[in-house]
A and B are shown apart, each in its own frame.
Chain A
């Protein structure tokens, strides 16, 4: 996976520091600059990276460190902690329970992969014995209902939508109601793409959310997104109760640092990643193994349980 490349750069920077005979200000700065650069190349928000650098420097006050201290270990620990802080939402997201009806609403920027990911999410659970259903509350995009319908048909998942009705709130409510009656235990609501600059679009999302009372709102984000990630993710969080993030298109070349920004902005964990256009190209995402992978594992196991 490409995110691992970021891990490679960070491990290398730390390794280089370990090779230095004396760890002074210069060595520390070089190491931090390398790490900073790797994070920026991965599209982590500039401010987050800057804050991280400042925090590490504060923790690793070289002058304060008594001669006996293991400087390398302290620096490595600080880097590890700061990265974890960035990636760790602090609390797990709501997890739907099989057999108990849950409503999950997908939101995100235009073209981020919501509709595709809705089906992947439904298909993933269907294989595990759930009864998922898909509701198309995107009445804006040309061909949106056809897209969801064709995907759902391929996966043999029941779907609801309309070519005539133009009110997404009405469709969402009708669809959720219908599938609750049909005893579906995972009702997935797909919505139109939107962005924070258009208030009316955010208001519409708020209304769909209010009317369907989702148990979980998932923010879907494209792995190639740059510095706009944080502000957009934060704006979504401020309008609806985003509880989890899914990062798509991880089969591309992008390192997905925008995901870190989105986690920081929404205080929600990444729960899945999309790795292709096909239905089964979908992976569960877990922070802990990811961070250890990010940092080249081995030596880090000791820090993991902290």
Chain B
């Protein structure tokens, strides 16, 4: 690790290996999926191989710097989603702006859906500041208590909710909710869906139908920061199933990520990296608690620093 090769010509793979191995281990202790940690190290190796080492620099610091750069690049969104602007565009077209919350079981879809309205952190309080009318749509028609859960939030937040009880086709309930929103002049519809395992074909098909039928403005994947290696499979399969099971020629995929339970993981922040790396979608919101105001923006700098510490 402390080996220095001032004077040596070009960096070879074998020079880099010990430093990269240590870095891979560090990423994994921070809960980055093994596959992602491995791929990252490979790409850092590829970027350094054959390069000359600046004199008096250690290999480990060179590798560290290259990794840092790669992490910042991956975590910095390539495209930004301006919800505010999009809500206004939809409003001008006299259509409600529709957000669908999707993800596996118990990650925090319903709770964080309720946070998107009432938040003190700019710019997430946008719905409140602009007096935009928000409506919730209870499209988890399966899990016990799901409708009552959302109804409770709606009551506390004093916003309207569209619900049709249990056992209805969620795609149809969503459709009716959006129609109702158009009628009553709501600007935003937040659609709650049931949690589902990414391998569960019938449930993934039903989700794909809901999205195809309603063509939402934003498909928000909700994933918990606690998740380990499964993060990779969750994101890739949701995307893959949405693509494969859609009857549309231009299927909708995950637009953004809402990362929850960030308050439960200490420095094990790696799931953020796994999710973004595998999907290319940005982390748009970070859930960091169980009350309505616990929503933040991802701090890329601090994540990168924690990952490398």
Contact = CB atoms under 8 A, between A and B. Distances in A.
Contact of B290 (A42, A110, A113): A110
Contacts of A144: 145, 149
Interface residues of B, number: 52
B40 to A, nearest CB: 15
Taking chain A's interface residues, is the majority helix, strand, or loop, or is none over half, making it mixed? loop
Contacts of A227: 28-31, 228, 268, 270
Interface stretch (A170-178, A218-226, A264-272): A218-226
A147 B195 CA distance: 15
A47 to B, nearest CB: 8
Contact of A143 (B148, B197, B198, B224): B148
B148 A146 contact: yes
Nearest to A198: B263
Contacts, number: 146
Given A225-B226, A249-B197, A252-B198, A40 B34 contact: yes
A150 interface: yes
Contact of B104 (A43, A110, A224): A224
Given A226-B270, A277-B143, A43 B106 contact: no
Interface in A66-96: none
Interface residues of A, number: 47
Contacts of A148: 144-145
A228 B265 contact: yes
A143 B140 CA distance: 13
B227 interface: yes
A37 B230 contact: no
B227 A147 contact: no
A62 interface: no
Nearest to B35: A41
Given A110-B108, A150-B144, A228-B266, A143 B228 contact: no
10 contacts: A43-B229, A142-B156, A149-B145, A224-B226, A224-B234, A226-B229, A251-B200, A252-B104, A253-B233, A254-B228
Interface of B: 25, 28-31, 33-35, 104-108, 110-111, 114, 142-153, 156, 197-200, 224, 226-231, 233-234, 237, 261, 263-266, 268, 270-271, 290
Given A40-B28, A111-B224, A146-B149, 9 more contacts: A41-B229, A141-B149, A226-B228, A227-B28, A227-B29, A249-B104, A251-B200, A252-B198, A253-B230
